[in-house]
Structure 1
Amino acid sequence: MNPATEIRIARIDDAAAVAVLLGELGYPASVEQAAARLVGLQRTACAVTYVASRAGNVCGLATVHSHASLNRDQPSVQLTLLVVSAQARGSGAGKRLVQAAEEWARDCGAQRLVVSTAVHRAGAHAFYETLGYELTGRRYARVL
């Protein structure tokens, strides 16, 4: 039997699982770093991190940020991080995390959710397209 996926807001005691998931995504972090980042995100009303769990084990996470915008009356909301463990991909956990992010964005008053994903993540691009997301532009970054 396939266990159901549960979505909830991340807690500090999820830090070990969060560190593993960040590593899978290519952003290595210690448990202490993951815990400190979770605390920082929890201190702002402008961001939320959700985790997906199956049979009590965290298997995915999503972080969403909201900020005021000059070019829109509504806030701009962005899904800045989404990762599902290799073992849980295809289980619906990613879709459920995106749905939670969309609901949070609506609750913030946003009319759209913007997703950031690296150019080399073709699988992620296809995933978002199956959920109805469209490519709308490019993002540039520079190390400071």
Structure 2
Amino acid sequence: MDSDHDIAQLTVLLDELGYPVSVENLQKRLKIIAHEPHYFTFVACDAQKVIGFMGCIKQYAWQYDGFLLRIEALVIKQEYRNQGLGHQFLSYIEDFAHEHAIHQVILNSGNRPERQAAHAFYLQNGFSISSTGFSKKID
């Protein structure tokens, strides 16, 4: 993720995920994330074209023993969906978790109608529905 072109392609993916961002703002975010040792960004490419990415955070929680891995973002470019890439990302992250002594992978997915296919995908890949997330923007 060194070039402006790569970052521009990531902005397209984030827009598809429902989180539009400018190249400049994403550059700032990635610079911060790059210096955080428990943040991981995984990218899938096809012939120099970014077609998917996953962002994860290794964290410790009050309610669990051991570390967990939170998938903060996972998106596959629309025209590459339903070809197994999302499953490959999740398989990779399970292997990553085993290698780093992480015993649980969690994620949130919005309760919007356009996310129903994603919910079915996560259920098909062994995830269970275990909570409802809330957020409050602080200005």
TM score, norm. by length of structure 1: 0.85
- Sort the Cα spacing of 1:19 and 1:88 in 2 relative to 1 into closer, same or farther, 3 A: same
Shift of the alpha carbon at 1:76? Answer: 2.3
Distance 2:36 2:96 in 1: 14
**Cross-structure match for 1:12:** 2
Shift of the alpha carbon at 1:116? Answer: 1.1
Runs of 4 or more above 4 Å deviation: none
- Sort the Cα spacing of 1:100 and 1:42 in 2 relative to 1 into closer, same or farther, 3 A: farther
On the 8 A contact 2:67/2:104 being kept in 1, the answer is: no
Shift of the alpha carbon at 1:22? Answer: 0.8
Q: Deviations 1:98-121 (Å, cap 9, x if unpaired)?
A: 222223333332111001100111
**Cross-structure match for 1:3:** none
Distance 2:83 2:28 in 1: 29
Distance 1:44 1:94 in 2: 25
**Cross-structure match for 1:133:** 127
Distance 2:108 2:2 in 1: 25
On the 8 A contact 1:48/1:65 being kept in 2, the answer is: yes
> How does 1:1-144 map onto structure 2 within 5 Å?
11-13=1-3, 14-120=6-112, 121-144=115-138
Percent identity reads 27
Instruction: Tell me which of the two structures has the higher relative contact order, counting C-alpha pairs closer than 8 angstroms and 6 or more residues apart.
Output: 1
Aligned length: 134
Shift of the alpha carbon at 1:43? Answer: 0.7
| CA RMSD after TM alignment | 1.4
